[in-house]
Amino acid sequence: MAKIEDFNFNGKKAIVRVDFNVPLDENGNITDDTRIRGALPTLKKILEDGGALILMSHMGKPKGKVNPKLSLSQIREAVAKALGRDVKFAPDCMTAQEAAKDLKPGEVLLLENLRFYPEEEGKPVGIDKADPAYEAAKKEMKERQKEFAKTLASYADVYVNDAFGTAHRRHASTAVIADYFDQQDKMLGFLMEKEVKAVDNILKDIKRPFTAIMGGSKVSTKIGIIENLMDKVDNLILCGGMTYTFAKAQGGNIGDSICENDKLDLALDIMKKAKEKGVNLVLGSDCVAGNQFSNDADTQICSVMEIPEGWEGMDAGPESIKAFRDVIVPAKTILWNGPAGVFEFDKFTTGSKAIADAIVEATENGAFSLVGGGDSVACVNKFGLADSVSYVSTGGGALLEAIEGKTLPGVAAIEGK
């Protein structure tokens, strides 16, 4: 596998899978350009070496059909501004042969949204999975996907994947395309390298003690990660909405708190496994309960085992926060995924803020801290602490799958595994 830092792009055309799936307002203006900025180190390296760039990305979910509202032409100017040079645009990603051929060193061509073609995702359209003809349609689509990837590959000499956000998908542009390049002509971009390294720090190069903090609303969506982490962590904090499934499983009265009644046995099983594996499982003992799911709720602090009817646990209480801090501050490796409460309401941010502060303190003392997966990133951004932790991942689903221990197709395709 080639390494981007060692590669000389001089005179080469590089096709780069970026994640330019940026949020747009109703007028097509970008509301957050983090993803464009994230790709810049890779793009600048290629241009400064004297290479030409062909950029490809998806935007939204057009489901294999052209949708002008999801056209990447809307971000062309922003990309040009970020790169400090003109950006040409190919309005159809399948007919860009001439435009690609004409590209000179230092020039940039942006392809239209890859997902305007169903071949990008490779899923048959307009046919139900239960239909007897589905398997044949799937097979046919896989063949079409190969042709689609081959056409994209024909535009360039080198393939770079820098889109961590889609690395958990085996799509034409994220994985299949890699088959059409020799091992020395395909590589991960700088952003992808950083993400992969951050996951390795958490799963392989662990410095102890290792504390993982899993929050959010449900235990069911986190079970794969919890199970994989159980073999690795010293301390496992389970907080947020899951707290109440555990409390109920242990016979607690949880009032109107969020609860997965079909996961009570699973909660008890997690507690048993933690004990067997010698993992210190830290569950919230008290909470801030509200009498309605709103920022205007009246609040009271109570035990998670005795929440009155008509009230629901919406944040971690002071005793829980202290217990969380006790295992976060001394930790040397920290993973945080999911808030400790309904942090969207200012009244219920205390638990999540306390976790973020404790992580920052540990990081200052030399810990490696990785924050990732949707809402915990929103949390550290809300508290202005994104620069005070070691790494904030850009990948939601991809990060979570990597932490579950799954091989990401986007990474495997480059590494030839």
Q: Which CB atom, from 162 or from 315, has the smaller least distance to ligand AMP? A: 315
String marking each residue 358-387 x if it binds ligand AMP according to CB under 6 A: ----------------xx------------
Q: 218 catalytic, yes or no? A: yes
146: Cβ–Cβ under 8 A, 6 or more apart, which residues? 176, 179
Which of 102-110, 166-174, 211-219, 277-285 is the region at the interface with ligand AMP (rule: CB under 6 A)? 211-219
List, in order, residues 6 or more apart from 136 with CB less than 8 Å away: none
Partnered with residue 392 across adjacent β-strands are: 371
Q: Does position 241 bind ligand AMP by CB under 6 A?
A: yes
Active site residue 35: yes
DSSP string, 101-152: HHPPTT-EEEEP-GGGSHHHHT--SS--TTSTTHHHHHHHHHHHHHHHHHHH
**Which residue among 143, 200, 205, 344 contacts ligand AMP (CB under 6 A)?**
344
165 binds ligand AMP (CB under 6 A): no
Q: How far is the CB of 180 from ligand AMP (least distance, A)?
A: 37
Do 363 and 226 meet the contact criterion of CB atoms below 8 Å apart?
A: no
Nearest to 344 by CA among 306, 386, 376, 302: 376
Is 284 one of the binding residues for ligand AMP (CB under 6 A)? no
Instruction: Please enumerate in sequence order all residues whose Cβ is within 8 A of that of 138, keeping only pairs 6 or more positions apart, or say none.
Output: 123, 124
Task: Indicate the helix (H) or strand (E) that contains 324.
Answer: helix 318-328
Helix (H) / strand (E) element for 79: namely helix 76-83
* Euclidean distance between CA atoms 57 and 378, whole angstroms: 23
Which single residue brings its beta carbon nearest to ligand AMP? Answer: 216
Catalytic-residue membership of 310: no
Among candidate residues 106, 224, 396, 397, the one labeled active-site is 397
User: Is 295 a residue that touches ligand AMP (CB under 6 A)?
Assistant: no
In the complex, minimum distance from the CB of residue 218 to ligand AMP, in angstroms, rounded to a whole number: 5
Check if 284 is active-site: no
Window 219-238: contact mask with ligand AMP (x via CB under 6 A)? --x-----------------
Residues involved in catalysis:
35, 218, 374, 397
Q: Residues interacting with ligand AMP, by CB under 6 A? A: 216-218, 221, 240-241, 258, 313-314, 338-339, 341-342, 344, 374-375
